[in-house]
Amino acid sequence: MLEHVPLFINGRAEPAPAAVERLVLEEPASGEPYAEVPLCAADEVDRAAQAAQRAFPGWRDTPVIERARVLFRYRQMLESESEELARLISHDHGKTLPDARGEVLRGIEVVEFACGMPTLIQGATVQDVARGIDTRSIRQPLGVCAGITPFNFPVMVPMWMFPVAIAAGNTFVLKPSERVPRAAVRLAELAKEAGLPDGVLNVVHGGKAAVDALIDHPGVRAVSFVGSEPVARHVYRRAGEQGKRVQALSGAKNHLVVMPDCTWDKTIEGIMGAGYGSAGERCMAVSVVVAVGDAGDVLIGKLRDAAGKLKVGRGTDPGAEMGPLITRQHKERVLGHIARGVDEKATLALDGRAHPLTARPGNFVGPTLFDGVQPQMSIYQAEIFGPVLSVVRAATLEEAIALVNGNPYGNGTALFTNSGAAARKFENEVQVGMVGLNVPVPVPLAFFSFSGWKNSFFGDLHVHGRDGVQFYTETKTVTARWFGDGESAGARNMTIALR
Ligand code: NAD
């Protein structure tokens, strides 16, 4: 019996009307169907957006400290439910349980950040911009905001958006990935249990039709998107043409640069987690390792040994370090990339196709390692989003930086070295949004803003941190003067009060 994933509109989980098309979801580890999700079109999106529009005036006028209190309670509920959420993520996405636990924690951190909204939303004042005239700027919420999220972080990425939007006084319609929709519904149910008024947070499901209807809805003022580059470009263009505020976080091809003076055990450990963790399905996953100078030969041997020992399995298997890919279609796509890498004459140092689990039911592909990869090869250019690492050689740090900067994406990068001078040069010159120095995945932290550069991001304001607060609020600047004599006005008011 398949579970029917509900919509969440106006404070209630409800089934989609029978006429709405449905997608059957299969568990990534086994290929077994477990649920079906409605693929909404304009009608359901309109109902959700209207519920959010109706809820907005009351929520906007709720004092920010009361809004923050709801989030404090939400934070507690999320923590109590964190293990269930992690298990849900691990089942629906396939990532390992420790990875899923980390994801939930990162999401909770955004709620903690948003609890500070009474401070974060403060404006600015200048007294006496002219004699007797004061000017202040205040930040006000926009109205209904929309979030469109990818499959690879079913909890964390939605929570990059709605806790900040809601704490700032907006209402929200979330359209999670249709491939992992259950976690979003649970997040909305918990928010209601925490005291969030009906209609403030709504969830609809679907693909392109739902996304386009949400962007086009006249009640939606701002759109936050995270996903692949072609869709990010589409969302950015479509929302921008309608004069809406938009931030679109996009695809990636992250390089990790290894200097010959690195601390080898930490470097290899870091690359294993960053390259193969979550089966490479992270926007911050390392996809290209750049070996500088004579680091290459040592590196490839150590990487082959370590990757060959990684424990692949169902996400809940004790000790599993890497789970399956999200769908059968994505597995076929990743296998196609490996075949093209071989055709293009990259050296296949470890063939994930030969891993015993690759041939079994479920979407497993074993860790794969290519050496001698050249920038013109398709495995270098494509965002594979799978457990496939490419090693490229560079003669100098200068050359490695030029390679990173020449890539159209600029999401994350890292340098492993013991040279402060090399690290300083790298940090200064590299054209990438998130940089790790001896840290393989510079993870998003709620109180900083997060995003890539170049084709990894379309927009101006990044997610969460101070940028997130700015994104979900609009500045109003008020200039005021008051006539008469403050003394006598005060006396008049006092007389009225005493009557
Ligand atoms: P995706 O682009 O296929 O889907 C993202 C969202 O867009 C989903 O909600 C989906 O329903 C919707 N969508 C899909 N096709 C659409 C279309 N034609 N028109 C309108 N909407 C459409 O992405 P995905 O496969 O779910 O996620 C993986 C991608 O997300 C990778 O490229 C990864 O790098 C990226 N990502 C980026 C970041 C970041 O911070 N930059 C974070 C996580 C994931």
Q: What CATH number is associated with residue 429?
A: 3.40.309.10
CA of 227 from ligand 1 middle (Å) equals: 2
The CATH number given to whatever domain includes residue 78 is 3.40.605.10
CA of 224 from ligand 1 middle (Å) equals: 12
CB 469 within 8 A of CB 486: no
Residue to substitute in 21, 149, 151, 363 for testing ligand 1 pocket (most ligand atoms within 8 angstroms of CB):
151
In this structure, how many other beta carbons lie within 10 angstroms of the beta carbon of residue 474? 16
Helix (H, G, I), strand (E, B) or coil at 167: helix
Same domain, residue pair 175 and 277: no
CA of 305 from ligand 1 middle (Å) equals: 33
Q: How many domains does the chain have?
A: 2
CB 323 within 8 A of CB 95: yes
Rounded (to 5) percent helix, strand, coil in the chain: 45, 25, 35
In this structure, how many other beta carbons lie within 10 angstroms of the beta carbon of residue 478? 11
- Domain of residue 420: give its range: 254-437
In a domain, 495, yes or no: no
Placement of tokens 């050359």 in the chain: 399
- Is the dihedral angle over the CA atoms 47, 178, 91, 15 positive or is it negative? positive
Low-confidence stretches of the chain (pLDDT beneath 50): none
Question: What pLDDT, on the 0 to 100 scale, is given for residue 485?
Answer: 81
Burial of 167 (0-12, 13-18, 19+ CB in 10 A): buried
Same domain, residue pair 200 and 327: no
Same domain, residue pair 136 and 176: yes
- Ligand 1 atom at shortest distance from the alpha carbon of 150: 26
Same domain, residue pair 235 and 99: yes
In a domain, 498, yes or no: no
In this structure, how many other beta carbons lie within 10 angstroms of the beta carbon of residue 329? 10
CB 221 within 8 A of CB 143: yes
Residues 329, 334, 336, 342: what is their CA dihedral angle, to the nearest 10 degrees?
A: -170
Phi–psi pair at 280, nearest 5 degrees: 75, 5
- pTM (2 d.p.): 0.96
In a domain, 417, yes or no: yes
Q: Which residue intervals of 293-347 are DSSP H helices? A: 295-308, 328-343
Helix (H, G, I), strand (E, B) or coil at 258: strand
Residue to substitute in 283, 286, 333, 445 for testing ligand 1 pocket (most ligand atoms within 8 angstroms of CB):
283
Same domain, residue pair 246 and 267: no
Q: Strand pairing of 124-130 and 7-9?
A: unpaired
Closest protein CA for atom 22 of ligand 1: 208
Same domain, residue pair 240 and 316: no
pLDDT in tens, 322-357: 999 999 999 999 999 999 999 999 999 999 999 999
What does the alpha-carbon distance between residue 343 and residue 347 come to, in Å, rounded to a whole number?
Answer: 10
Same domain, residue pair 67 and 148: yes
Residues 6+ apart with CB under 8 A from 259: 292, 293, 295, 397, 415, 416, 417, 418, 419, 422
Bridge partners, 125 (sequence order): 136
Same domain, residue pair 235 and 155: yes
Question: What pLDDT, on the 0 to 100 scale, is given for residue 367?
Answer: 98
Angle at which helices 156-167 and 182-193 cross, to 10°: 30
CA of 74 from ligand 1 middle (Å) equals: 27
What does the alpha-carbon distance between residue 185 and residue 73 come to, in Å, rounded to a whole number?
Answer: 18
Residue to substitute in 25, 178, 231 for testing ligand 1 pocket (most ligand atoms within 8 angstroms of CB):
231
What does the alpha-carbon distance between residue 371 and residue 353 come to, in Å, rounded to a whole number?
Answer: 16
Bridge partners, 473 (sequence order): 141
In a domain, 464, yes or no: yes
Same domain, residue pair 318 and 237: no
Q: Is 40 a catalytic residue?
A: no
Residues 6+ apart with CB under 8 A from 451: 247, 249, 433, 434, 457, 459, 462, 463, 467
Placement of tokens 């509109």 in the chain: 9
CB 369 within 8 A of CB 391: yes
Residues 6+ apart with CB under 8 A from 208: none
Residues 6+ apart with CB under 8 A from 122: 139
Q: How is residue 113 written in tokens?
A: 């950040």
Residues 6+ apart with CB under 8 A from 285: 252, 254, 274, 275, 277, 278, 385, 441
- Provide the b/e sequence for 486-498 (b: ≥16 CB within 10 Å): eeeeeeeeeeeee
CA of 36 from ligand 1 middle (Å) equals: 20
In a domain, 443, yes or no: no
Same domain, residue pair 235 and 337: no
In a domain, 9, yes or no: yes
Closest protein CA for atom 43 of ligand 1: 283
In a domain, 139, yes or no: yes
> How many angstroms separate the Cα of 461 from the Cα of each of 246, 358, 415, 458?
9, 41, 26, 9
Q: How is residue 404 written in tokens?
A: 């990173």
How much is the CA Rg of the chain, to the nearest whole Å?
A: 25
Placement of tokens 């390259």 in the chain: 275
- Ligand 1 atom at shortest distance from the alpha carbon of 457: 41
Closest protein CA for atom 16 of ligand 1: 208
CA of 232 from ligand 1 middle (Å) equals: 7
In a domain, 88, yes or no: yes
Closest protein CA for atom 12 of ligand 1: 207
Q: How many residues does the chain have?
A: 499
Residue to substitute in 21, 152, 249, 407 for testing ligand 1 pocket (most ligand atoms within 8 angstroms of CB):
152
Ligand 1, CB within 6 Å, residue ranges: 148-153, 157, 175, 177-178, 207-208, 211, 226-228, 231, 234, 249-252, 283, 383, 385, 411, 452, 456
What does the alpha-carbon distance between residue 18 and residue 24 come to, in Å, rounded to a whole number?
Answer: 15
CA of 481 from ligand 1 middle (Å) equals: 50
Same domain, residue pair 226 and 303: no
Same domain, residue pair 71 and 155: yes
Q: How far is CA 146 from the centre of its chain?
A: 14
Closest protein CA for atom 23 of ligand 1: 227
Placement of tokens 């980390």 in the chain: 102
